[in-house]
Structure 1
Amino acid sequence: MDLGFKGSVAVVTAASKGLGAAIAEELAREGANLVLCSRDQISISVLADRLSKQYGVKTLGLAADVSLVRDIDMLIDHTMSEFGRVDALLCNAGGPKGGSFLSMTDEDWEKAFQTNLMSTVRLIRGFYPHLKVTGGKIVTIASSSVKIPIPGLVLSNTFRAGVAGLMKTLASELGPSGILLNTVSPGRILTDRVVEIDEARAQREGKSLVQVQQEVIQEIPLGRYGQPKELAVFAAFLLSKQNTYVTGSTFFIDGGMVKAL
């Protein structure tokens, strides 16, 4: 299926690795020109250069911390000055630190709030006038914790749920502008972040990483961790011109792990 990305412009945040990088590559494969950002200028420049050469698309790699207002403003300004339009926005950010409620300081809560919730608010608000022109699509990356909280991840459980609530609300508010918004919630997709979570659980429970991963696999009907590309192809559809009627939904890419209705 041709997703209709040729000639379009997609913005992907936290794109240097993991799910962000996988989605960026899928969009490039479909022909989208890309604006990519990461806190690491070298990593994001390397990725942008590779995708441009491999898929023949235009790319712009920028160093930006999405928890900072000035960096989001810079991202928007550079996108419009370089390309003059935006058709798709993928809001992504690194997960907050793990730990229990009583272990978190005010500074921990504030950092997670700015990085994982306010970044989405500011990105959508800032790109809204431009997305309205193109009838653009927005996808946020959350977590299976929006349905079932994950032990030891109180910050993620709180703010990922907030993002899902925001997206559901905006589907109603921005729908008349022709903008479609959805949330993609990964289960156990094999990224560095998921390995870190498993390692923290292994340390907490006095087990090996292999033991923990085998226990996790027992909870997944498909019997394995997912691959980033398996999520990326679905996110690409939601961001594409082929998506004309799906909005306000939260999708679990989890191999059947989440048992709740």
Structure 2
Amino acid sequence: MSAPELAVTERGRVLVLEMNRPEARNAMSLQMAHEIADALDLLDTRPDLSVGVITGANGTFCAGMDLKGFARGERPVVEGRGFAGLVQRPPRKPLIAAVEGYALAGGFEIVLACDLIVASREARFGLPEVKRGLTAAAGGLLRLQRRIPYHLAMNLVLTGRMWPATEAAAVHLVNDLAEPGEALDAALALADEIAGNAPLALAASKQVLVRSQDWSLEEMFERQHEFVQPVRESADAREGAQAFVDKRAPRWTGT
């Protein structure tokens, strides 16, 4: 058995995923993609977990696909979840990217698949695939223009240039900037704030925000019903109301 390439730890209601291939700048391998997929399944199925945080070891987020593996014919894709076991089907629950150093190519596409982004002021993003005769096919071309202005997205894709996190924050792609070395701590503080809320409500709210982008005005209220109605009928909804009446902190069960 190969040594794990993803370190997974629990911190209260927060699940932390640390990509751990520092010798390759955490480039994505097939093994690590499967380990990420397994960790996200754990996040989604455990009612006592509310939020995920994904980061990289040794001061780098992820340099993208492992090109040595690609040269051997290996593609770090998990069926049904896509590249990195993540980009095609992110988890139902909120996922935060904590970025130090470089998030390039597939690494940036992992970031774009997350719901919130915390980055070091010295972090760098980029989609340099065109410089390697490739395209950003793991969600970069699909998601980037939905996150930032069209012409900026086109510039980044066609030039393949490095993009400082400070510039990304200026157009609100990055939620919070941290001092170098402190991105994970800042992401965990944000995750703890989110995890204080009802887990079913968090997951349902995320799903409506993500899925409703192409719903028509005529159908959007009906289509959100399948996500929000189970929350209204949940034990957590009753607990939230009772905690308000009792003037105490709610005790969420995720049911």
TM-score by length of 1: 0.30
Query: Higher helix proportion, which one?
Result: 1
TM-score by length of 2: 0.31
Structure with larger Rg: 2
Q: Which structure has more RCO (C-alpha within 8 Å, separation ≥ 6)? A: 1
